[in-house]
Amino acid sequence: MIIDINKMKVNEIKDIVINTEQSIHDYDVQMIKDFICSLKNDTRKSVQKLAIKLDGSLKRYFKEIERVKNMYDFDKSYGEYKYIAGVDEVGRGPLAGPIVAAAVILKLDYVSYKELILYINDSKKLSVQKRQLLAEIIKNKAISFSIARIDNDIIDKKGISWCNNQVFIDAVHGLKVKPDFVLSDGYEIKNFDVNNKAVIKGDLKSASIACASIIAKVYRDAIMQKYAEKYPNYDFVNNVGYGTTNHINAIKMYGKCDIHRESFIKNIIKKS
């Protein structure tokens, strides 16, 4: 990033700063620091303000690196395992649609911070666009990933607790690489053939679980968007099956559809 800003207009410099902020992970840190220094030394106040702006972005970037490093280190803290999988589910509570789980094995022994998957988090804390972008990055960088689903008819027959446990098992067993250890979000997996540890709020602490959370959420949301086209009366495009006021009122007005969990909505139907 060797840029002579002396003859550049402020708007041109601003565009470079914005582009640098948006692609900060792709640049050499020292080059960014040198660029910030040249901005600070410029006589124009507006350019000096851009230096402050970019410097703030760089500090936030380093803070994010440390946050994600801690998540990777959390997973590694459980022992000298070759392959650690994180597993998480989405869709335990909705009135309609499947429960979905994802399992992810990451390369935890990174050499450079450039290998880290930054901005991973509890999927609910991320925007739709950020989740979708991260889901693709995770799939490309993961050693292995797997997604499993259990539909509403099985949820009604077996109960949500059984399905929650089983979809965890199915997701892990779907991995092409067998893990030596599994971290599961919130629940210890029962009747399971791999060493397992439950982590409360795991999608905030564990890199592997956070990645699983994101993949599962993006996958299930895509399913519900398709169902929204097939069953337009229930506002699935917005509620993805959860019991919002619009959704509950629609059930009262139109009754259930094929993807509703009858065991979840029986009291709603009785009152309608």
Which residue ranges are tagged as binding site for a divalent metal cation?
88-89, 185
Q: How many residues does the chain have?
A: 272
Contact 199, 75 (CB under 8 A): no
Pairing mode, strands 84-90 and 99-105: antiparallel
How many whole angstroms separate alpha carbon 16 and alpha carbon 139? 30
Q: Give the Å distances, CA to CA, from 127 to 51, 121, 122, 124, 206.
A: 28, 11, 11, 8, 20
Binding site as annotated, residues: 88-89, 185
- Measuring CA to CA, which residue among 225, 247, 232, 205 is closest to residue 93? 247
Residue with tokens 């009291």: 267
Contact 88, 185 (CB under 8 A): yes
Max Cα distance, the chain (Å): 74
* Contacts (Cβ under 8 Å, ≥6 apart) of 192: 168, 169, 172, 182
Distance, C-alpha 180 to centroid of its chain: 23
How many whole angstroms separate alpha carbon 226 and alpha carbon 232? 10
How many whole angstroms separate alpha carbon 59 and alpha carbon 53? 10
